[in-house]
Amino acid sequence: MNLSVHGVGKSYGRVQALTRIDLELEQGMFGLLGPNGAGKTTLLRILVGITRADSGSVRVDGKDVTREPGRTNLRRRLGYLPQEFGFYPEMTAAQFLDYMAILKEMDDGSMRRRHIREVLELVGLREDADRRLKGFSGGMRRRVGIAQALLADPDILIVDEPTAGLDPEERIRLRNLLAGLATDRLVILSTHIVEDISQTCRNLALVAVGEVVYDGSVANFIDAARGVVWELRTADGASPPTGWTQVATVAEAGGVRYRLVGEGAPAPAAIPQPASLEDAYVWHMRIKRRTHP
């Protein structure tokens, strides 16, 4: 299974949301990382066919999902959890999924019930099938959202910021769930939370102001920030270094300890540090701003 995005561009009036996106994705978990307004949601909506691109193509196994014929069949292979997802608080999980299954034109009632049992099992909510959604925690609601995306057993699961607003345990649970689902599917996880990606994805794309800034392995992404991360301790009253990005600032007895990202040592006493994914994110964004201010 292969998802190929070629030359995709999109403007909303004068706002250029996506400039020219090229991506090649295969089975496994893929992270789509980028700051607010980068264009992540726009790209995902184009992938699932809700938004039409101004230019370019999206192909699943070589077939264009944006064009007739066969478009509808191809879309069935895509499951989508939108960033803003509306629930019906009075419905139980099973009723809600039944409703979503009907919207997806799953007409056979017994098949629907079987599918609903399966997806509830997959997301760990079988025991909660008959509870009303209004009593569900944020993490449980996201899992119901993932369950509805899985209803037609898609090859490609696209989830837009599913971990936003969740507490650490719920977040870990959700990303483990997604990683499990990625063993026999392509899962595209959009997020601006760096740890979500470091813990689950082998490959990622960093998108900023509508362009792909980086596309490749997480390991190479981090490797690119080798030699640009520093720790510097300054005495009380000393002014903070300028020109480097402060990734961490910790007040200590007698001074301040900084973690800094930037080219060249900020001071002779600065100690080079191994880069984390977060440092690498900051570094790639610095390069982006320097070359396209």
Ligand X SMILES: Nc1ncnc2c1ncn2[C@@H]1O[C@H](COP(=O)(O)OP(=O)(O)OP(=O)(O)O)[C@@H](O)[C@H]1O
Tell me the closest approach of the beta carbon of residue 242 to ligand X, in angstroms: 28
> Which structure tokens are listed for 276?
């984390």
Q: What are phi and psi of 277, to 5 degrees?
A: -60, -35
Residue among 32 and 261 whose Cβ is closer to Mg ion:
32
Residues 6+ apart with CB under 8 A from 44: 32, 80, 158, 160, 188, 190
Q: Which residues bind ligand X (CB under 6 A)?
A: 12, 15, 17, 34, 36-42, 83, 192
Tell me the closest approach of the beta carbon of residue 251 to ligand X, in angstroms: 31
- Tokens 């789509």: give the residue: 32
Residue among 40 and 115 whose Cβ is closer to Mg ion:
40
198 binds Mg ion (CB under 5 A): no
154 touches, from Mg ion, ligand X, none (C-beta below 5 to 8 Å by class): none
42 touches, from Mg ion, ligand X, none (C-beta below 5 to 8 Å by class): ligand X
Tell me the closest approach of the beta carbon of residue 284 to ligand X, in angstroms: 15
163 binds Mg ion (CB under 5 A): no
User: Taking CB under 5 A as the criterion, which residues in 48-87 touch Mg ion?
Assistant: 83
269 touches, from Mg ion, ligand X, none (C-beta below 5 to 8 Å by class): none
For the chain, strand residue ranges (E) read: 2-12, 15-26, 28-33, 55-60, 63-64, 78-81, 156-160, 186-191, 203-208, 211-217, 229-235, 245-252, 255-261, 271-272
Tell me the closest approach of the beta carbon of residue 28 to ligand X, in angstroms: 22
Q: Are 144 and 96 in contact (CB under 8 A)?
A: yes
Q: Is the peptide bond before 162 cis (omega within 30 degrees of 0)?
A: no
> Which structure tokens are listed for 201?
């994805």
Tell me the closest approach of the beta carbon of residue 52 to ligand X, in angstroms: 12
Residue among 84 and 127 whose Cβ is closer to Mg ion:
84
42 binds Mg ion (CB under 5 A): no
Q: What is the DSSP letter of 64?
A: E
Q: Contact positions toward Mg ion, by CB under 5 A?
A: 40-41, 83
